[in-house]
């Protein structure tokens, strides 16, 4: 299986700090997609973003931004001016096997303290 690696198990920051969550993926495909999901303490999985490999432009959505670097097989996620409500487990994922089964990274638990 083509893996997704989130090396940071837990990150702890103080409110208003910027924080970057790392995601490194394996691929043998020329075309592929990458995803980020958020799992807050309430437990649901919330879709954040889908990017395709053709588009290497950085994506920004409010305080969230994503940096896609094909050269290093990375798709990192930055939260600017973090808030307590950003506390969650964040998952990076990619489809695999041609059937849209999502392969998830192990997740990074982000704790934002007041």
Partner 1 sequence: DTAVSQTPKYLVTQMGNDKSIKCEQNLGHDTMYWYKQDSKKFLKIMFSYNNKELIINETVPNRFSPKSPDKAHLNLHINSLELGDSAVYFCASSLSGGTDEQFFGPGTRLTVL
Does the protein bind partner 1 through residue 101 (CB under 8 A)? Answer: yes
The alpha carbon of residue 77 and the mean position of all alpha carbons in its chain are separated, in whole angstroms, by: 5
| Secondary structure (DSSP) of 39-64 | E-TT---EEEEEEETT--S-EEETTE
Q: What share of the chain is helix, strand, coil (3-state, %, to 5)?
A: 5, 55, 40
Q: How far is the CB of 107 from partner 1 (least distance, A)?
A: 5
Q: How far is the CB of 6 from partner 1 (least distance, A)?
A: 11
CB-based burial, 3-30: b 16+ in 10 Å, e otherwise = ebebebeebebeeeeebebbbbbebeee
Does the protein bind partner 1 through residue 91 (CB under 8 A)? Answer: yes
CB-wise, 79 or 89, nearer to partner 1? 89
The alpha carbon of residue 6 and the mean position of all alpha carbons in its chain are separated, in whole angstroms, by: 8
Mark the segment that binds partner 1 (CB under 8 A) among 11-19, 60-68, 76-84, 85-93. Answer: 85-93
Does the protein bind partner 1 through residue 89 (CB under 8 A)? Answer: yes
Does the protein bind partner 1 through residue 20 (CB under 8 A)? Answer: no
CB-wise, 70 or 101, nearer to partner 1? 101
Which residues sit at the interface with partner 1, rule CB under 8 A? 32-33, 35, 37, 39, 43-47, 50, 52, 89, 91, 93, 95, 97, 99-104, 106-107, 109
């Amino acid at each position: 299986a083509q893996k997704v690696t989130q090396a940071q198990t837990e990150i702890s920051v103080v409110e208003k700090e910027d924080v970057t969550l790392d995601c490194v993926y394996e691929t043998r495909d020329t075309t592929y997609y990458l995803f980020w999901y958020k799992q807050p303490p309430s437990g649901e999985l919330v879709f954040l973003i889908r990017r395709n490999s053709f588009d290497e432009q950085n994506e920004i959505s409010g305080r969230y931004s994503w940096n896609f670097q094909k050269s290093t097989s990375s798709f990192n996620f930055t939260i600017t001016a973090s808030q307590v409500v950003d506390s969650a487990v964040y998952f990076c994922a990619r489809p695999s096997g041609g059937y849209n089964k999502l392969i998830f990274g192990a997740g990074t638990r982000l704790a934002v303290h007041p």
